[in-house]
């Protein structure tokens, strides 16, 4: 099992923005990091798994949906500093590592089948239109990715 807390290297994650009926599926995290935050469903890539396979697996596990990966939206980095390190930077002068460090590839996904239901890592599911995103107090990176996802989905639909 890979150590998520205080990793030696950044962890590689994948996420999937599923937009259907003009709404995006959001998950509320039940575990750290980001417990209680609304976000894009996803998780860590497993060894030997392609990026698309990881997205499909993570969305099936977290939401019960079977999806098809359509297009890369954006690559983001989430660094969660150790709360005991007062300067909030990536490291302090003594060499303390961040508590969590993820590089996440977020993809636009198409829902193929399944009914949304949360697993043990998810405390809630929500469906939000683009104009409703502010209600969820999203991390600014997540909000930016979701707005790009809506734009990408709209561009694809108008082709």
pLDDT in tens, 94-144: 456 799 999 999 999 999 999 999 899 999 999 999 999 999 999 999 999
Residue 69, domain member (yes or no): yes
Q: Give the per-residue pLDDT at 30.
A: 93
Q: pLDDT tens across 27-67, in order?
A: 999 998 889 999 999 999 999 999 999 999 999 999 999 99
**5 vs 143, more confident:** 143
Task: Find how far residue 97's CA is from the centre of its chain.
Answer: 22
Measured in degrees and rounded to the nearest 5, phi and psi for residue 15 equal: -140, 160
Residue 6, domain member (yes or no): no
Q: Give the per-residue pLDDT at 4.
A: 87
Residue 78, domain member (yes or no): yes
Q: Give the per-residue pLDDT at 53.
A: 98
| Count of CB atoms situated within 10 Å of the CB of 97 | 16
**Domain carrying residue 135:** 11-157
What is the distance between the terminal CA atoms of the chain, rounded to a whole angstrom?
44
Q: Give the per-residue pLDDT at 1.
A: 45
> What is each CA distance from 57 to 16, 36, 41, in whole angstroms?
10, 22, 11
Residue 47, domain member (yes or no): yes
Residue 3, domain member (yes or no): no
Residue 5, domain member (yes or no): no
Q: Give the per-residue pLDDT at 159.
A: 84
Q: Give the per-residue pLDDT at 94.
A: 44
Q: Give the per-residue pLDDT at 95.
A: 53
> What mean pLDDT do residues 13-26 have?
97
Residue 4, domain member (yes or no): no
Domain with 111 in it: what CATH number? Answer: 3.90.79.10
Q: pLDDT tens across 67-101, in order?
A: 999 999 999 999 998 877 655 444 443 456 799 99
- In three-state form (DSSP H/G/I as H, E/B as E, the rest C), the secondary structure along the chain is CCCCCCCCCCEEEEEEEEEECCEEEEEEECCCCCCCCEECCEEECCCCCCHHHHHHHHHHHHHCCEEEEEEEEEEEEEEECCCCCCCCCCCCCCCCCCCEEEEEEEEEEEEEECCCCCCCCEEEEEEECHHHHHHHCCCHHHHHHHHHHHHHHHHHHCC
Q: Give the per-residue pLDDT at 96.
A: 65
Query: How many separate domains does the chain show?
Result: 1
């Amino acid at each position: 099992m890979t150590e998520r807390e205080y990793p030696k290297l950044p962890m590689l994650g994948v996420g999937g923005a599923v937009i259907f009926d003009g709404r995006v599926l959001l998950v509320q995290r039940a575990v750290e990091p980001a417990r209680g935050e609304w976000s894009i469903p996803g998780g860590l890539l497993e060894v030997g798994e392609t990026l698309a396979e990881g997205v499909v697996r993570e969305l099936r596990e977290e939401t019960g949906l079977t999806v098809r990966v359509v297009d890369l939206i954006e690559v983001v980095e989430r660094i969660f500093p150790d709360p005991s390190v007062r300067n909030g930077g990536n490291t302090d002068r003594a060499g303390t590592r961040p508590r969590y460090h993820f590089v996440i590839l977020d993809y636009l996904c198409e829902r193929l089948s399944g009914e949304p239901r949360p697993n043990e890592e998810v405390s809630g599911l929500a469906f939000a239109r683009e104009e409703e995103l502010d209600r969820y107090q999203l991390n600014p990176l997540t909000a930016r990715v979701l707005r790009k996802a809506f734009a990408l989905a709209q561009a694809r639909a108008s082709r």
